Amino acid sequence: MTSSTTNILVCGIGGQGVMTATEILAEAAIAEGHDVKKTEVAGMSQRGGVVTSHLRFGPRVLSPQIAPGTAHVLLGFEAAEALRWMGHLAPGGLALVNDARLVPPVVELGLFSYPDDPLGMMRKAGIHTVAFDAASIAKSLGDLRLGNTVMLGAIADHLPFSADVLLSCIVKRFASKGEKLVDMNRQAFAAGRTAARDNSAAPATA
């Protein structure tokens, strides 16, 4: 990271586990001794509305708000939302995006139109975009709800601390729910890391 403070913006729609993922990232940062600030904005999250979380950590952090042009990583659980928030990325920032198409209710109601190619638009804007189908990965492991752990795996190699720290926080989160669920989350985490690595060679511009 180019700054002593790391800024991560997480966005998606309700039900994808955006807030849970941000909480786990925050727990990992705290475990590493960082000062951590985070904030969430949820709009009808239970109905699939927009959910955004700002996470900042470092030696000393005063505000949780990430200003436009200052995010080091944009973790997009949904492609159109990642497109909408790409302006918050700093020059040279990274967008890790789930490319599974999840259309929010505002689109279905005709209030907004879904972009034809959100990932292409991001790449044309010069955004370093790494995309993969987190939903399909989660389904292949037996539970769509594993998608947020897939996304955490994807960001694991782009944090200023070891991926093992993040994985340990995930394991701790699910330990009380049985070894089977812990193992499924371990697999989802590993699959997310692999997906991000395998797709990182994608061109930054279209």
HSE-CB of 65 using CA atoms within 13 angstroms: 2
Task: Express the helix, strand and coil content of the chain in percent, nearest 5 each.
Answer: 45, 20, 30
Paired residues of 167 in beta bridges: none
Q: In this model, does residue 2 exceed pLDDT 50?
A: no
Q: How confident is the model at residue 206 (pLDDT cuts 50, 70, 90)?
A: very low
What's the pLDDT score for residue 15? Answer: 82
pLDDT at 137: 96
Mean of the pLDDT values across residues 9-34?
93
pLDDT digits (tens, 9 = 90+) for 46-100: 455 778 999 999 999 999 999 999 999 999 999 999 999 999 999 999 999 999 8
Task: State which CATH number among 3.30.1490.390, 1.20.1250.20, 3.40.50.300, 3.40.920.10 fits the domain covering 6-199.
Answer: 3.40.920.10
When pLDDT is cut at 50, 70 and 90, the band that residue 40 belongs to is: confident
In the predicted structure, residue 166 carries a pLDDT above the cut 70: yes
Q: Are strands 71-76 and 89-98 parallel, antiparallel or unpaired?
A: parallel
Enter the pTM of the model. Answer: 0.89
The residue ranges of every structural domain in the chain are 6-199
The pLDDT confidence band at residue 150, using thresholds 50, 70 and 90, is very high
Please, which pLDDT band fits residue 149 given cuts at 50, 70 and 90? Answer: very high
